[in-house]
Amino acid sequence: MEEDMECETTGFNPHMCRVMEERPILFDSDFYAAEALACDMDIPVIYSTGSNKEPIEEWLEKHKPSMIHRVDGFGWIHVIRSEKTKNTNSDEVDVMGLQEAWENLKASERDISKDKIFELANNFRVTAGKWMFWVSTGGKGDYLWSLVAKGIVNGNTLAKQAKISACEQGKEGPDKNEHVVCIYNDNFLDKDQVFESERTIRSLGIKCQLQYKPDVFTYLGVYRKNPWNLRPTIYNSNFDVIRNQSIIEEVHGRF
C-alpha cells in the first residue's frame, strides 16, 4: 500500500488454531511489506485521461473507494493524467539493479543508513516519492479522494498520478478501516519539487496531516519497525487552519 498499510491475505486452517493463538500477528516491517505486495498483485481499478472517455466526476460516482472491496479481489484505485512528453527517462529506472545492490549492502554487514539508501536511489534513478494520508472509509474517504482525483485529471496538481487503497473491513493492524492515499512526484531528492507538490495538494482542499515517503523504501521493503530502525518517511506536513498555511518538518534520524 506502498505504502504502510495492511492488506490481509491469510487463509484459515483449522489445524493451525492453537499456533495462531500462541503467536499473535507481529506488525513489523516484513508484515507491512508482504501486505503491500499483496495489494499490488490484486486487481487494479484505473482511470487514465489517455484511455477513459467519460468525465472524471461520472467515473468517481461509479467507483467510490468505499464500494470497492479487497474481498472481491481489488487492490488499488488509480487516477493518472497522461501527458505526451518528448524526453522521458522512465526507461532508465533500474529497480532490479537497486534491489541487487541492496542485497549486496545487507550481505556486507556495513552500516545501513538513510543516506546510503538515498545514494542507491540516485545511482539507479529510483527517485519517485509520494505524499500520503490516511482517511476512514465511507463518505469522508470518498470525498477527499474525489478532490485528489479531480485535481490530478484537471491538471491542478504537480502530481500526475495518485492512488487509494480499496476498502477492507475486519483487517488487522493499527490502520484498520482506513484507506491510504498516495500522491506521487518524480524526484524526492528535489526538495523544491516535493514542497511544490505538497502546495498543490493543499490547494485542492486537503487539510489533514501528510507524510512523505520515497519509493526507494517501498522497493527495498523498508517499512515501519524495520531492523535498521530507519524512518521510512522523510517529511511531515500539518496544516495550520488559523494561519492558513502548511508547516512542513523534515524527519531526521532513526526511531
pLDDT in tens, 207-224: 999 999 999 999 999 988
Other C-beta atoms lying within 10 Å of the C-beta of residue 113? 13
For residue 57, the model assigns a pLDDT of 98
Which residues in the chain come in under a pLDDT of 50?
1-25, 86-90, 173-174
For residue 28, the model assigns a pLDDT of 61
Cell output for 83: 501527458
Distances (CA, A) of 119 to 18, 123, 126, 190, 227: 45, 6, 10, 14, 19
Domain boundaries, the chain: 14-83+92-250
Please give the Cα distance from 2 to 197 (Å, whole number).
18
Q: How many CA atoms lie within 13 A of 159 on its CB side?
A: 32
Q: Does domain 14-83+92-250 have CATH number 3.30.760.10?
A: yes
Cβ atoms of residues 99 and 165 within 8 Å:
no
Task: Say how many residues make up the chain.
Answer: 255
pTM, 2 dp: 0.82
For residue 17, the model assigns a pLDDT of 31
Element (H, E) at 217: helix 215-219
Please give the Cα distance from 214 to 127 (Å, whole number).
7
Distances (CA, A) of 214 to 88, 116, 140, 209, 235: 20, 13, 26, 17, 10
